[in-house]
């Protein structure tokens, strides 16, 4: 199925990808602050989305959120990043 934003093939099974995105959203919402910080500092979420879903625009949105987090930033920033990651996933989820 072509991606409506950049014309590239993002997946062969939209329902499976939608389910995986919902699972990632749930994990992001529930994970410990230290886990979220660790993965954001390594840009794990954006790299995973780029590799698995081949969705460059979503990966870029996630990377921007990840980049706003520092190793010793306050907990409030971690929560802002958490919400930005979830919002980016929700905005791109197949309907």
pLDDT digits (tens, 9 = 90+) for 48-65: 999 988 999 999 999 999
Question: What is the per-residue pLDDT for 95?
Answer: 65
Question: What is the per-residue pLDDT for 7?
Answer: 45
* In-domain check, residue 76: yes
* In-domain check, residue 20: no
Question: What is the per-residue pLDDT for 53?
Answer: 87
Question: What is the per-residue pLDDT for 4?
Answer: 41
Question: What is the per-residue pLDDT for 18?
Answer: 83
To the nearest 10°, the Cα dihedral for 50, 61, 56, 32?
Answer: 10
Question: What is the per-residue pLDDT for 8?
Answer: 44
* Regions of the chain with pLDDT less than 70: 1-14, 94-95
* In-domain check, residue 21: no
- Residue 32 CA to residue 61 CA, distance in Å, equals 22
Q: How many domains does the chain have?
A: 1
């Amino acid at each position: 199925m072509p991606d409506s934003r950049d014309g590239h093939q993002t997946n062969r099974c939209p329902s499976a990808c939608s389910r995986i995105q919902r699972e990632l959203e749930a994990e992001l919402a529930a994970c410990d602050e230290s886990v979220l910080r660790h993965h954001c500092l390594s840009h794990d979420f954006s790299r995973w989305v780029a590799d698995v879903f081949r969705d460059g625009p979503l990966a870029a949105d996630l990377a921007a959120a990840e980049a706003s987090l520092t190793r010793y930033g306050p907990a409030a920033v971690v929560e802002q990043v958490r919400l930005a990651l979830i919002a980016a996933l929700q905005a791109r989820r197949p309907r």
